[in-house]
Amino acid sequence: MGAVTEATKETFRDLVSSGSVLVDVWGPDCRPCLALMPEVERQASERAELDVVKVEAPKARRLCMELRVMGLPALLLFRDGEEVDRLTGEGITASSLDAWLDEKLASTG
């Protein structure tokens, strides 16, 4: 637990199938995505109960369509294979991500 894993469309479903998984959908040209990256990685290292999966949007367009990701950055929280919530938009900060995860992880057990 507490790992950061790159996902592909082939590995995505397996990676989110069990436990609490934060999916970071990002793009190399997305400045807010790049700014959040160290924070997302910190979450993975500090929250043993949380796995983090990164999806590079330009390389996984079909997966992004399936997930209905309309803009970046997009952070999706999965619990045992089901999406429970998402945080999207350029206004995501380290503290808003922290507070959102605290709330959602407490409510999903």
Residues assigned a catalytic role: 30, 33
Report the Cα 80 to chain-centroid distance in Å.
14
Please measure the distance between the N-terminal and C-terminal CA atoms of the chain and give it in whole angstroms.
15
Angle at 14 (CA atoms; ends 10, 16), nearest 5 degrees: 115
Reading the block at residue 101, the tokens are 């995860």
